[in-house]
Amino acid sequence: MALDAPIQEPGVHCLHNKKPKRRTPTLLGTVLTGAFLVGGAAFGQEAVTPEPALEVNAARAELGKRLFYDFRLSGDTSLSCGSCHQPDKAFTDGLALSAAYTGAAHFRNTPTLANVGFRDAWMHDGRLGTNLNDTAREMITETYLMNMDMRIMQERLKQDRKYIEMFQAAGMSEPSNGGARNALMDFMKTIQSRNAPYDTGQMSAAAQRGQTIFEGKGRCTACHIGARFTDDKPHNIGVPDNPDIWSDPERHSAFVTYAKFFGVPNYMNLREDLGAYIRTHRDETRRSFLTPTLRELKWTAPYMHNGMFQTLEEVVDFYDAGGGDDPLKDARIQPLGLVSSEKSDLVAFLEALSGDSFDIDAYVWREDDYDYALIEDWRNVSN
């Protein structure tokens, strides 16, 4: 059943719409195609996406949802995507620096997956820019993440009858690793913000004053623009380095693995995260990181690529002081001279960009059906 595309125009939801018009209540940012509707909030309530809708195959997204919470996607079955991207935290994990594969620890903060299908580039350094299938591949195969050999993954999936059925329902003849990545991609496209006070026209007076500061005196819209509040580009704002990356051998070794892979000179002696530099190798991009979305901040602390700030108050104080100390800092980051009421208004505005929890059936595989009966006499059974 093919459904009509949203009626929205790109850019309808601009920052100056203090009280955006209520839009058609269904399928705003997602065009679903395929055998059946997944059902649930992403499809039944207001999603906020000004960009052209994302095309999603419903049966593939449903398969992706099951895969997302399946621990068999990591080499030693210790992690699922949902271990780090937790639905009750807008698909983050509450840690400054993420966990990682057994024996490793990560050197980055887990980003939210809210509206992730609309990004132009992914990862804090923007090193992936093609599509979400690539991000799934990176997460699954990277040694310090899920450390999974995709040929083994494919064989694991083939042992599970439910997957065999779900791949068929999604138009694929049998479980394959390419199909699994496409399914994860479609599931991630369904993860869209809903019902933030900013969108429903229910912002408090403080939040409305905060919006004026955000767009005016705060100069925040230089980088945080559009309905997702990001230009998807890297900037250096001088966030201080997180010393845990260098003092914890498990984190440091993960970082070295990454820096070596990207051909960063002198990577063994490096004691800073170079951000976008790893892919551009241009000096002026050192320590620049992609502008994150400002949606769902209520759920996603701590903040920044390395989790250096615990609260939005700390973030606002950081900007008020003119950002961090870095010779390559973006010239638009200047001291703001905000008084304390202006700071709390700005925080109120940032909070008003958070919507409903993602911990609902539409985004969580609730059935505990990952176990399956062993096949007796398996040598004589065909698959």
Binding site for ligand HEC (CB under 6 A): 73, 79, 81, 83-85, 98-100, 106, 108, 110-111, 113, 116, 119, 122-124, 132, 135-136, 139-140, 145-146, 184, 188, 214, 218-220, 222-224, 235, 237, 239, 289, 291-292, 294, 297, 300, 303-305, 312, 315, 319, 330, 332-333, 346, 350
Considering the complex, state which of residue 89 and residue 119 has its C-beta at the smaller distance from ligand HEC: 119
Considering the complex, state which of residue 26 and residue 267 has its C-beta at the smaller distance from ligand HEC: 267
Tell me the C-alpha distance between 263 and 266, whole Å.
9
Alpha-carbon dihedral sign for residues 254, 258, 260, 261: positive
Tell me the C-alpha distance between 343 and 359, whole Å.
30
Considering the complex, state which of residue 32 and residue 223 has its C-beta at the smaller distance from ligand HEC: 223
Vertex 196 angle, CA 203 and 199, to 5°:
70
Report the nearest approach of ligand HEC to the CB of residue 57 (Å).
16
CB 34 within 8 A of CB 171: yes
- The residue among 213, 376, 218, 227 whose CA lies nearest residue 295 is 227
Residue 61: CB atoms within 10 Å: 27
Report the nearest approach of ligand HEC to the CB of residue 171 (Å).
20
Considering the complex, state which of residue 26 and residue 88 has its C-beta at the smaller distance from ligand HEC: 88
CB 328 within 8 A of CB 236: yes
Report the nearest approach of ligand HEC to the CB of residue 82 (Å).
8
Considering the complex, state which of residue 8 and residue 98 has its C-beta at the smaller distance from ligand HEC: 98
Report the nearest approach of ligand HEC to the CB of residue 8 (Å).
22
Report the nearest approach of ligand HEC to the CB of residue 132 (Å).
6
151, with CB counted inside 10 A (0-12, 13-18, 19+), is exposed
Report the nearest approach of ligand HEC to the CB of residue 146 (Å).
5
